Amino acid sequence: MASIALVTPLARANVRHLWLMAKWKQYELWAQTAQNKWEIVGLFPTTELATVVANSRASRTRLIEVLYDGAKLMGQEIIAELGNTRKE
């Protein structure tokens, strides 16, 4: 016997609420592995732990602040660069 699930307007509103999150940010730590190659080390909710991890790495690292509105990427900015300096 098959059952039928009823979707009420209230249930739809509750699901929609899950997708409509406020603006939020996270911090990504990237490490340089070759001349023009970077790999992600980790994602962090604050800069403190990301900075500790960056300082423990021997290679050049970048801490990037990433801004979201719900699930949509709004922007990103390099806020710190540690390790070897750029050649200019």
pTM (2 decimals)? 0.69
Domain boundaries, position 36: 21-82
Within-domain flag for 88: no
5 domain-assigned: no
SS3 57: coil
* Count of the separate structural domains present in the chain: 1
Q: How confident is the model at residue 71 (pLDDT cuts 50, 70, 90)?
A: confident
Residue 61 lies in a domain: yes
Sort strands 72-82 and 61-69 into parallel, antiparallel or unpaired: antiparallel
**Is residue 31 assigned to a domain?**
yes
DSSP state of 71: T
Q: Give tens-digit pLDDT for 29-69.
A: 999 999 899 999 999 999 999 999 999 998 999 999 999 98
